[in-house]
Amino acid sequence: MERRFLLNDRLVELGPDERGLALAWLRQRQGLCGTKEGCGEGECGACTVLLGELSPRGVVYRAVASCLLPVGELPGRHLVTIEGLNPPTGLNPIQQQFVDEGAPQCGFCFPGMVVSLTGFFLDSADLSVNDGLAALDGNICRCTGYAAIVRAVTALAATYRPLLDPTRARVDQLAEWGILPAAFATAAARLSTLGAPPIERFDTTAPAVLFAGGTDLIVQQPDLPAAADLAYLSRRPELRVIERELDELVIGGAVTIEEFGHAPEFRALVPDAPAIVGRFGSTLIRNRATVAGNLVNASPIGDVTILLLALGAKVVLSRDGRRRTVPLSEFFLGYKQLAREPGELVAAVRVPASVAGDLVSFEKVSQRRFLDIAGVNSAARIRCRDGLLERVTLAVGGVAPVPLSASSTAAYLTGRTLDAATALAAADVLESEIAPISDVRGSAGYKRELARRVLFAHLLRVAPDRLRVEELV
Ligand SMILES: Cc1cc2nc3c(=O)[nH]c(=O)nc-3n(C[C@H](O)[C@H](O)[C@H](O)COP(=O)(O)OP(=O)(O)OC[C@H]3O[C@@H](n4cnc5c(N)ncnc54)[C@H](O)[C@@H]3O)c2cc1C
Ligand code: FES
Ligand code: FES
Could you give the number of structural domains in the chain? 3
Q: pLDDT confidence of 204, banded at 50, 70, 90?
A: low
Q: Is the CA virtual torsion 355, 357, 358, 362 positive or negative?
A: positive
**Ligand nearest to the Cα of 110, by number:** 3
Strand order in the sheet with 376-385: 359-365, 376-385, 388-397, 404-405
Of 133, 130, 118, 230, the closest CA to residue 174 belongs to 118
Q: pLDDT confidence of 282, banded at 50, 70, 90?
A: very high
Q: What is the pLDDT of residue 188?
A: 96
The ligand 1 atom at the shortest distance from the C-alpha of residue 253 is: 41
In a domain, 77, yes or no: yes
Q: From start to end of 150-305, where are the E strands?
A: 209-211, 230-232, 242-245, 248-252
- Per-residue pLDDT tens for 71-97? 999 999 999 999 999 999 999 999 999
Q: What would the mean pLDDT of 433-445 be, rounded to a whole number?
A: 94
Q: Decide: residue 217, CB within 10 A, 0-12 exposed, 13-18 middle, 19+ buried.
A: buried
Residues 184 and 52 sit within 8 Å (Cβ to Cβ): no
Q: Say what the alpha-carbon torsion angle 61, 253, 136, 162 is, to the nearest 10 degrees.
A: 50
pLDDT, averaged across the chain: 95
d(CA 252, CA 243): 9
Q: What is the pLDDT of residue 105?
A: 80
In a domain, 261, yes or no: yes
- CB neighbours of 391 closer than 8 A, spacing ≥ 6? 358, 381, 382, 383, 414
Q: Which of 157, 192, 227 is the C-terminal boundary of a domain?
A: 192
- Other CB atoms closer than 10 Å to residue 429's CB: what's the count? 16
Q: pLDDT confidence of 205, banded at 50, 70, 90?
A: low
Q: pLDDT confidence of 454, banded at 50, 70, 90?
A: very high
Q: Which of 308, 328, 355 is the C-terminal boundary of a domain?
A: 355
Q: Is 273 in the pocket of ligand 2 (CB under 6 A)?
A: no
> Are both 267 and 397 inside the same structural domain?
no
CATH code of 23's domain: 3.10.20.30
Q: Is 281 in the pocket of ligand 1 (CB under 6 A)?
A: yes
Choosing from 82, 101, 108 the residue with most ligand 3 atoms within 8 A of its CB, the one to mutate for a pocket test is: 108
> Are both 334 and 263 inside the same structural domain?
yes
In a domain, 63, yes or no: yes
Q: pLDDT confidence of 171, banded at 50, 70, 90?
A: very high
Residues forming beta bridges with residue 359, ordered by sequence position: 382
> Are both 16 and 75 inside the same structural domain?
yes
Residues 353 and 244 sit within 8 Å (Cβ to Cβ): yes
In a domain, 221, yes or no: no
Q: Is 145 in the pocket of ligand 3 (CB under 6 A)?
A: yes
- Per-residue pLDDT tens for 105-123? 888 999 999 999 999 999 9
**Ligand nearest to the Cα of 44, by number:** 2
- Per-residue pLDDT tens for 455-464? 999 999 999 9
Looking at the predicted structure, is the pLDDT value of residue 176 above 90?
yes
In a domain, 283, yes or no: yes
Q: pLDDT confidence of 203, banded at 50, 70, 90?
A: low
- Per-residue pLDDT tens for 343-381? 899 999 999 999 999 999 999 998 877 778 889 999 999
> Are both 38 and 177 inside the same structural domain?
yes
Question: Which own/partner pairs from 177-184 qualify as long-range (CB within 8 Å, at least 24 positions apart)?
Answer: 177/93, 178/87, 178/92, 178/93, 179/92, 179/93, 179/94, 179/118, 179/121, 180/85, 180/118, 180/121, 180/122, 181/9, 181/84, 181/85, 181/87, 183/8, 183/9, 183/84, 184/59
Residues 452 and 424 sit within 8 Å (Cβ to Cβ): no
> Are both 29 and 176 inside the same structural domain?
yes
> Are both 411 and 390 inside the same structural domain?
yes
In a domain, 241, yes or no: yes
Looking at the predicted structure, is the pLDDT value of residue 277 above 90?
yes
> Are both 146 and 181 inside the same structural domain?
yes
CATH code of 251's domain: 3.30.465.10
The ligand 3 atom at the shortest distance from the C-alpha of residue 109 is: 2
Considering the chain, what percentage of its residues have pLDDT values greater than 70? 98
Q: What is the pLDDT of residue 135?
A: 97
**What residues make up the domain containing 66?**
4-192
Q: What would the mean pLDDT of 250-273 be, rounded to a whole number?
A: 98
> Are both 39 and 165 inside the same structural domain?
yes
Decide: helix, strand or coil at residue 31.
Answer: coil
In a domain, 433, yes or no: yes
24 residue type, one letter? A
Looking at the predicted structure, is the pLDDT value of residue 332 above 70?
yes
Q: pLDDT confidence of 99, banded at 50, 70, 90?
A: very high
Question: Which own/partner pairs from 311-314 qualify as long-range (CB within 8 Å, at least 24 positions apart)?
Answer: 311/269, 311/270, 311/351, 311/352, 311/355, 311/360, 311/379, 311/381, 311/393, 312/351, 312/352, 312/355, 312/381, 312/393, 313/349, 313/350, 313/351, 313/352, 314/349, 314/350
In a domain, 214, yes or no: no
Q: pLDDT confidence of 406, banded at 50, 70, 90?
A: very high
Helix (H) or strand (E) holding 361, with range, is strand 359-365
Q: Is 80 in the pocket of ligand 3 (CB under 6 A)?
A: no
> Are both 366 and 350 inside the same structural domain?
no
> Are both 48 and 181 inside the same structural domain?
yes
57 residue type, one letter? R
Q: Which of 315, 336, 355 is the C-terminal boundary of a domain?
A: 355
Q: Ligand 2 centre from 217 Cα, in Å?
A: 15
CATH code of 372's domain: 3.30.390.50
Choosing from 142, 146, 150, 151 the residue with most ligand 3 atoms within 8 A of its CB, the one to mutate for a pocket test is: 142
> Are both 98 and 187 inside the same structural domain?
yes
Q: What is the pLDDT of residue 190?
A: 97
Q: What is the pLDDT of residue 156?
A: 98
Q: pLDDT confidence of 208, banded at 50, 70, 90?
A: confident
Q: What is the pLDDT of residue 202?
A: 65
> Are both 332 and 272 inside the same structural domain?
yes
Q: pLDDT confidence of 239, banded at 50, 70, 90?
A: very high
- Per-residue pLDDT tens for 123-146? 999 999 999 999 999 999 878 678
